[in-house]
């Protein structure tokens, strides 16, 4: 893991913590960006953590590019020795897998897919060595995920599953991106899951849909009334499978303000997780069940 | 000086200088594609430079003024008509309630900025009135203007009728347009030959050119250096582990057609980037039309900072000229 710095024009510094994805790289990125945010440095305009990298947008008239670079390198050396622990929250996200809406959409764009004969889930299950879509869905929802980046479009979380490298699910993106994806589709591309916050173009495989809105520009939904974007990098997500009836009930209750996502505050220690992934995950999910 | 929209044009949106601070949540800065034109138009009608105005692309709207005031149109060159009579661009034009502003066909450039006394006063979202249509934020109900909309405006300032921006301080695209690019990001992923071709080839603006980004075609496809695929990046040699995209960054999906991200940029994704258009040349991109020839010119950081200072100096001179 070797950090690489590059100027993105005169207003950005792009920092690649590692070329490949890992929890270590994500943790390093989030700890440097958190430290930079706390520093409140004049001239820093945007601090954007990503999966295994991050980016800073700054005003070179206030802080010179070389000075900005120096600041980041100093923060990096401090991050190396810092404890890899964060206080965060675990959120339960209900998902209706194999729903009719993403199914209708995937049929419409079948010619852009690697395997036009089946569904996105059938394909993902097969190439990951699962006997059935159900077995794949089980692997998908039984272990939690880290929100490793929020972006692409407004409020869209990228998630990386908290399992060892050899258990990671991997699925290529569509051969050619779709021009349409239903709002709140749960998708998958590379080693990342995502939730499409708005309807629009997309290239990730589509597995299901959540009745839980995660972006609300009107700030009228009960749990989005303080801020329109639900997710932050560092959040932990546990998907829970639901059926049609439950989906429709939650959707109706969101409208009346009666439904809110289940959330528990937790702390996450990377060393503890690395020593015992399954045990650490079980504790996270217990905290959620108790909430 | 509220406005009534008679015809909306092709895609006319409310824009100011944007809403920085939310890019880490996928909400782009937004704001006028051509910021110099926005600042100039506002100064002409006596508004603060960062007031909201209308940005129209390719085809102007038709607007009725509901009270007296000043209007200024900057940016692209096209006939500006007040009750059918041609008016000068980059100039404060006095108007009366009931008069109608309309436009002829574009002569050059791509976007005009229409500023009116008091500025557009639609509701701000996250500190800006800029329209971000994908997120339904800002503007008129989070969308482009539509026929029948009545657009509110603020308290008028003290603009001078007939004030004009000197020709020497107006900016538009040359032909071929030159975009200065600081190589970097994943520049080392392509071969030295591909690096040379990127700057040597003539590119053309593709039809896919909007506020999110501009696509270019016509140059040679890029060859990649051999590289083991990083875990999580995907199988195509142009894929990276999804990361952040700088404004102005040049991504090249599949190594074929470069895309330069602009004010409504997607904040990140899985395509490698070869460098970034310098901040001083971002306005110019907003004035490029599809099919226009474009060359990418290699920049250095010192060159980028000098160009940035020069651009600021032009704005300062416009300010002085209109003071």
Task: Quote the ipTM score.
Answer: 0.96
Superfamily classification of domain B177-312 = Cyclophilin-like (2.40.100.10)
pLDDT band at residue A211 using 50, 70 and 90 as cut-offs = very high
Of A108-122, A204-218, A246-260, B71-85, the poorest mean pLDDT is in A108-122
Question: In sequence order, what are the beta bridge partners of A161?
Answer: A145
Number of C-alpha atoms within 13 angstroms, CB side, residue A53? 27
User: Smallest Cβ distance to B21: which of A16, A46, A65?
Assistant: A46
Residues 218-277, chain A, touching B (beta carbon < 8 A): 228-229, 232-233
- CB atoms B24 and A150 under 8 Å: yes
- CB atoms B137 and A217 under 8 Å: yes
User: Smallest Cβ distance to B242: which of A10, A50, A154?
Assistant: A50
Q: What is the mean pLDDT of chain B?
A: 96
pLDDT band at residue A120 using 50, 70 and 90 as cut-offs = very high
Phi-psi bin for B17: left (phi > 0), alpha (psi -120 to 50), beta? alpha
Do the strands B249-251 and B259-261 form a parallel or antiparallel pair, or are they unpaired?
A: antiparallel
> If you average pLDDT over residues A258-273, what whole number do you get?
96
Please give the Cα distance from B27 to B32 (Å, whole number): 15
For residue A200, the chain B residue with the least C-alpha distance is B134
Map tokens 């049609």 to a residue.
Answer: A244
For residue A25, the chain B residue with the least C-alpha distance is B241
**Phi/psi of residue B243, each to 5°?**
-135, -175
Q: Are A165 and A21 in contact (CB under 8 A)?
A: no
The pLDDT, as a whole number, for residue A82 is 79
> If you average pLDDT over residues B81-103, what whole number do you get?
98
B173 Cβ contact list (under 8 Å, min separation 6): B108, B109, B284, B287, B288, B292
The percent of residues above 70 in pLDDT, for chain A, comes to 100
- Biggest alpha carbon–alpha carbon distance for chain A: 59
Residue A133, token pair as written in the block: 């879509």
Burial class (CB in 10 A: 0-12, 13-18, 19+), B107: exposed
For residue B234, the chain A residue with the least C-alpha distance is A190
For residue B141, the chain A residue with the least C-alpha distance is A218
Please give the Cα distance from B154 to A39 (Å, whole number): 37
Q: Break chain B into its structural domains and give their ranges.
A: 3-165, 177-312
CA A24: distance to chain centroid?
Answer: 16
The pLDDT, as a whole number, for residue A79 is 86
Q: Is the pLDDT of residue B211 over 80?
A: yes
Q: Are A147 and A232 in contact (CB under 8 A)?
A: yes
Residues 168-187, chain A, touching B (beta carbon < 8 A): 170, 172-173
- Biggest alpha carbon–alpha carbon distance for chain B: 67
From residue B314, how far is each of B280, B307, B309, B317 by CA, in Å?
A: 11, 11, 9, 5
Q: How many residues does chain A have?
A: 291
Q: What is the 3-state secondary structure (H, E, C) of chain A?
A: CCCEEEEECCCEEEEECCCCCCHHHHHHHHHHHHHHHHHCCCCEEEEEECCCEEEEEECCCCCCHHHHHHHHHHHHHHHHHCCCEEEEEEEEEEEEECCHHHHHHHHHCHHHCCCCCCCHHHHHHHHCCCCCHHHHHHHHHHCCEEEEEECCCCCCEEEEECCCHHHCCCECCCCCCECCCCCCEEEEEECEEEECCCCCCECCEEEEECCCCCECCCCCCHHHCCCCECCCCCCEEEEEECCHHHHHHHHHHHHHCCCCCCEEEEEEEHHHHHHCHHHHHHHHHHHHHHC
Residue B129, token pair as written in the block: 């009135």
User: Smallest Cβ distance to B246: which of A55, A189, A190?
Assistant: A55
Residues 132-151, chain A, touching B (beta carbon < 8 A): 149-151
- CB atoms B20 and A46 under 8 Å: yes
What is the nearest CA distance from A155 to chain B, expressed in angstroms? 5
Tens of pLDDT, residue by residue over B138-192, are 999 999 999 999 999 999 998 999 999 999 999 887 778 999 999 999 999 999 9
Closest CA to B129 of B43, B62, B52, B28: B52
Tens of pLDDT, residue by residue over B13-46, are 999 999 999 999 999 999 999 999 999 999 999 9
Query: If you count residue pairs, one on A and one on B, with CB atoms under 8 Å apart, how many are there?
Result: 180
pLDDT band at residue A174 using 50, 70 and 90 as cut-offs = confident
pLDDT band at residue A173 using 50, 70 and 90 as cut-offs = confident
Residue A109 forms contact with B (CB below 8 Å) = no
The pLDDT, as a whole number, for residue A117 is 87
CA B233: distance to chain centroid?
Answer: 31
pLDDT band at residue B260 using 50, 70 and 90 as cut-offs = very high
From residue B145, how far is each of B4, B14, B101 by CA, in Å?
A: 10, 8, 15
B110 Cβ contact list (under 8 Å, min separation 6): B57, B58, B76, B286, B287, B288, B289
Higher pLDDT, A183 or B234: A183
The pLDDT, as a whole number, for residue B234 is 80
Please give the Cα distance from A99 to A97 (Å, whole number): 5
Q: Is the pLDDT of residue A176 over 90?
A: no
The pLDDT, as a whole number, for residue A80 is 83
Number of C-alpha atoms within 13 angstroms, CB side, residue B315? 19
Contacts of A167 in chain B (CB under 8 A): none
pLDDT band at residue B63 using 50, 70 and 90 as cut-offs = very high
Higher pLDDT, A134 or A176: A134
The pLDDT, as a whole number, for residue A175 is 83
For residue B142, the chain A residue with the least C-alpha distance is A217
Contacts of A7 in chain B (CB under 8 A): 182, 184, 276, 301
- CB atoms A200 and B304 under 8 Å: no
The percent of residues above 90 in pLDDT, for chain B, comes to 94
B172 Cβ contact list (under 8 Å, min separation 6): B75, B76, B77, B108, B109, B287
For residue A177, the chain B residue with the least C-alpha distance is B253
Closest CA to B315 of B94, B117, B74: B74
User: Smallest Cβ distance to B125: which of A153, A217, A232?
Assistant: A217
What is the nearest CA distance from B47 to chain A, expressed in angstroms? 24
> If you average pLDDT over residues B56-70, what whole number do you get?
97
Residue A62 forms contact with B (CB below 8 Å) = no
- CB atoms B308 and A60 under 8 Å: yes
- CB atoms B279 and A9 under 8 Å: yes
> If you average pLDDT over residues A246-257, what whole number do you get?
97
Task: Determine the residue among A5, A7, A9 to mutate to test chain B binding: the one whose Cβ has the most chain B Cβ atoms within 10 Å.
Answer: A9
For residue A17, the chain B residue with the least C-alpha distance is B243
Contacts of B239 in chain A (CB under 8 A): 190
What is the nearest CA distance from A20 to chain B, expressed in angstroms? 5
For residue A192, the chain B residue with the least C-alpha distance is B232
Nearest-10 crossing angle of helices A65-81, A23-39: 120
Higher pLDDT, B316 or A175: B316
The DSSP code for B22 is -
Please give the Cα distance from B307 to B303 (Å, whole number): 6
Residue A266, token pair as written in the block: 């937790």
- Decide: helix, strand or coil at residue B134: helix
Structural domains of chain A in order of their starting residue, each with its CATH number: 4-82 (3.30.1360.40), 88-290 (2.40.100.10)
């Amino acid at each position: 893991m070797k950090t690489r710095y590059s100027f993105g024009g005169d207003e950005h510094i792009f920092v690649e913590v590692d070329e490949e994805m890992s929890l270590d790289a994500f943790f390093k990125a989030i700890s440097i960006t958190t430290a930079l945010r706390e520093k409140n440095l004049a001239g820093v305009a945007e601090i954007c953590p990503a999966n295994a990298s991050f980016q800073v947008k700054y005003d070179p008239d206030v802080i010179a590019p070389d000075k900005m670079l120096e600041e980041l390198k100093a923060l990096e050396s401090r991050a190396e020795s810092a404890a890899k622990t964060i206080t965060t929250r675990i959120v339960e996200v209900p998902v209706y897998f194999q729903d009719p809406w993403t199914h209708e959409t995937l049929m419409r764009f079948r010619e852009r897919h690697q395997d036009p004969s089946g569904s996105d889930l059938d394909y993902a299950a097969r190439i990951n060595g699962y006997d059935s879509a159900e077995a794949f869905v089980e692997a998908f929802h039984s272990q939690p995920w880290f929100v490793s980046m929020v972006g692409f479009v407004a409020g869209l979380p990228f998630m990386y599953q908290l399992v060892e490298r050899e258990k990671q699910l991997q699925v290529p993106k569509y051969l050619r991106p779709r021009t349409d994806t239903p709002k709140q589709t749960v998708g998958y591309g590379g080693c990342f899951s995502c939730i499409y916050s708005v309807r629009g173009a997309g290239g990730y495989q589509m597995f299901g849909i959540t009745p839980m809105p995660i972006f609300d520009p009107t700030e009228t939904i009960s749990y989005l009334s303080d801020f329109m974007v639900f997710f932050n990098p560092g959040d932990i997500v546990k998907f829970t499978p639901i059926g049609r009836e439950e989906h429709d009930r939650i959707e109706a209750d969101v409208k009346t303000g009666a439904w809110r996502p289940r959330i528990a505050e937790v702390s996450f220690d990377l060393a503890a997780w690395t020593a015992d992934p399954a045990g650490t995950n079980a504790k996270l999910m217990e905290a959620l069940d108790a909430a | 000086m509220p406005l009534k929209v008679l015809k909306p044009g092709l895609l006319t949106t409310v824009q100011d200088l944007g809403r920085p601070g939310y890019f880490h949540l996928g909400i782009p800065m937004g704001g006028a594609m051509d910021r110099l034109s926005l600042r100039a138009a506002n100064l002409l009608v006596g508004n603060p430079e960062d007031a909201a105005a209308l940005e129209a692309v390719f085809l102007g709207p038709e607007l009725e003024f509901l009270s007296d005031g000043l209007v200024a149109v900057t940016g692209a060159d096209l006939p500006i008509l007040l009750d059918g009579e041609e008016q000068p661009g980059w100039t404060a034009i006095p108007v009366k309630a009931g008069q109608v502003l309309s436009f002829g066909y574009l002569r050059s450039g791509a976007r005009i900025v229409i500023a009116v006394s008091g500025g557009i006063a639609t509701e701000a979202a996250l500190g800006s009135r800029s329209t971000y249509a994908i997120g339904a934020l800002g503007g008129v109900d989070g969308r482009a203007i539509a026929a029948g909309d009545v657009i509110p405006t603020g308290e008028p300032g003290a603009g001078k009728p007939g004030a004009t921006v000197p020709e020497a301080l107006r900016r538009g695209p040359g032909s071929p347009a030159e975009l200065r690019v600081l190589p970097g990001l994943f520049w080392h992923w392509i071969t030295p030959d591909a690096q040379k071709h990127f700057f040597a080839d003539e590119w053309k603006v593709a039809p896919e050119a909007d506020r999110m980004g501009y696509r270019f075609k016509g140059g040679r496809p890029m060859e990649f250096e051999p590289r083991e695929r990083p875990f999580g990046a995907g199988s195509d040699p142009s894929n990276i582990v999804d990361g952040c995209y700088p404004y102005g960054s040049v991504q090249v999906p599949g190594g074929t057609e470069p895309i330069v991200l602009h004010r409504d940029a997607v904040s990140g994704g899985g395509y490698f980037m070869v460098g970034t258009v310098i901040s001083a040349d971002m306005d110019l991109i907003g004035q490029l039309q599809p099919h226009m020839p474009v060359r990418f010119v290699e920049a250095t950081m010192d060159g980028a900072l000098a160009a940035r200072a020069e651009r600021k100096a032009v704005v300062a001179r416009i300010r002085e000229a209109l003071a």
